[in-house]
Structure 1
C-alpha cells in the first residue's frame, strides 16, 4: 500500500504552527494552545489536526532542536579530547542561542525524559569524549567517565539556563566552565583558547 505524501498546505500549516509556537513561547513560556494557534493565523481545531495536545507540540519543538544538536555532535572530529569538547561546547552554545526556545523547553524538568531520549547521540558523544580525555590524561580521573560526562551535561544545562545568550562573553563562559569541570585549570584553558580563538570568535565578531 502506497502512503500518500502530506498535502502541501498541511505541511506549510504544520511548519507555521511550529514557527508560531517558537515565537509565542519566547514571549511567554506558558503560552496556551489558543495563543499559539492565533499566532499561526489558524484555528485551534486546525492546530489539533496536527498535534494531539500542547505537550505533543512541545515534544516536536524539542525533537527539531535535538536533531540540530546531534548533527553538531557528529561534526566534531578533533582527535584531541580537549579541543573536541571545547569545539562541541562552542558550537552547541551558538546553536542554542539561535533556538533559545527549544533549548529552554529542553531544560524544563517536565521534559527531561523526552529530551534525554532525543539527545541520545549527543550524550554518547560527550560520554566518549570523557572517556578519551581520561585515557590520554587530559581530563580528571578522580571520577568515573560516566559520572564526569553527567557532570559536564549538568553544568552545560546550568550555564544555558542561567546565562543570557546575548551577553558579551557568554560563549567564552560556557566553554571555560565545561573545560573546568573536565579538569582543565584556568591557565590550561587560557592556552587552549589562545591557540584556538575561533571557539569564541563568533560572539566578538572576529
Structure 2
C-alpha cells in the first residue's frame, strides 16, 4: 500500500489528472491490486492528501511564531509554501476530486495555527480587527491554493509564490491607515 501511496504522490504532484493506470504502473501493480486497496481514485487522492497533510503538519509545527506577528506570518507562509511546492499539483488534484468537506477537514490543524497567529496579531495591533478571523483564515487558505494553481498553470514562478502570498496577505491584514510592511524587510533580506 505504501508503494501505491508513494507512486500516487509522485504522479499527482506532476500531473493532477494522472489516471489510475498511470499510478498503478508507477507503483508496479495492476489496476485490480490498486482497487483492492483504494476503491476509487477519489479515495486514493484523499489518502495521499491525508499523508501529505500529516507530513506538512510535522514540518510546520517547528515554525517560530513568536515575536512580531507580521514577521511570524511571513515565516509561516514561507514554510507552508515549501510544503505546498513539494507536493506540486497535488493541491490541484485534491481540489478537483475531493469533496469540499473533506478538503476543509484536511486543513483543520493548519487553520487553527493561522487562527492563533492572527488573533495574536490583532491583540498586538498588527492586524486589522474589522474583519472576522474566520474570513482572514479562509482568505489565506484560498490565496495559497490559488498560488499553487497559478504555478501549475505557468502564471507564477514557483520561487515568487511565497512572496506573492505574503504580500497579498499583509496588504489585507494591515489595519486601515497603517503602512503595509515590506515582505523582504520582514524576511531580513531588504
TM range, normalised to the smaller chain? 0.7 to 0.9
Q: What is the rounded CA distance, in whole Å, between the counterparts of 1:31 and 1:148 in structure 2?
A: 33
Q: Name the SS of the counterpart of 1:68 in structure 2.
A: helix
- Name 1:170's counterpart in structure 2: 161
- Among 40, 45, 60, the residue aligned to 1:53: 40
- Among 50, 53, 65, the residue aligned to 1:66: 53
Give structure 1 stretches of 5+ with no counterpart: 1-13, 201-206
Q: Give per-residue Cα distances to partners, 1:48-99, cap 9 Å, x unaligned.
A: 2222221111001111111123224422232232122111100011111111
1:17 aligns with 2:9: no
1:189 aligns with 2:181: yes
* TM-score, structure 2 normalization: 0.82
Q: Which 10-residue stretch deviates more, 55-64 or 36-45?
A: 36-45
Asked if 1 retains the 8 angstrom alpha-carbon contact of 2:127 and 2:173, the reply is yes
Q: Name the SS of the counterpart of 1:34 in structure 2.
A: helix
Q: What is the rounded CA distance, in whole Å, between the counterparts of 2:40 and 2:126 in structure 1?
A: 47
**Aligned residue runs from structure 1 range 146-161, under 5 A:** 146-161=134-149
Shift of 1:166: 4.5
How many matched pairs?
Answer: 185
Q: Which has the higher contact order (CA 8 A, sep 6+)?
A: 2
Q: What is the rounded CA distance, in whole Å, between the counterparts of 1:71 and 1:25 in structure 2?
A: 21
* TM-score, structure 1 normalization: 0.76
Asked if 2 retains the 8 angstrom alpha-carbon contact of 1:70 and 1:119, the reply is no
- Among 5, 30, 35, the residue aligned to 2:22: 35
Structure showing greater Rg: 1
Give structure 2 stretches of 5+ with no counterpart: none
- Name 2:133's counterpart in structure 1: 145
Q: Name the SS of the counterpart of 1:117 in structure 2.
A: helix
Q: CA RMSD in A?
A: 2.7
